[in-house]
Amino acid sequence: MKIQNKKINSKGQVGETLTWIVATIIIIVMLVFFILGSSLLSGTKKVGNTFRESLTSSQVFEGTDLFLKKSLFTYVSLKSSTNQLVLDKKLSKMSEAGDFAIDYNSTKKEISINYALR
């Protein structure tokens, strides 16, 4: 009788093992599908020299000096004029030292105009 009980238990183990194998294969196929899909979609995104105010903003600033553009955007966003003066002085000194890849004054005008149009 002990031999018959072992055969009955082994059939249950085979069924459970097959279930896990099939589930593992399905999970691997789904992972491969999502990895391939995301790699195809990633080709449509432009990553690089862009700055966007927020995820929902429609305005995108492109250029080679994101630090300058982000700093100038902060400058025009500040509510306090004293904070604006302090930031403007720091940015002017950095511009005179040649720390920016693009022209400070023209970029400042461009961002000020775009911010005023809102």
**pLDDT tens column, 73-89:** 788 788 888 888 888 88
| pLDDT score at 44 | 57
| Spans of all domains in the chain | 1-45, 50-116
**pLDDT tens column, 88-111:** 888 888 888 888 778 888 888 887
Tokens of 35: 């990895």
Q: Of 20-34, 50-64, 73-87, where does mean pLDDT reach its minimum?
A: 50-64
> What are the φ/ψ torsions at residue 95 (nearest 5 degrees)?
-65, -45
Beta strand pairing call for 60-62 and 50-52: antiparallel
| pLDDT score at 37 | 86
Write the DSSP assignment of 73-114 as a string of letters: HHHHH-S-HHHHHHHHHHHHHHHHTT--SS-HHHHHHHHHHH
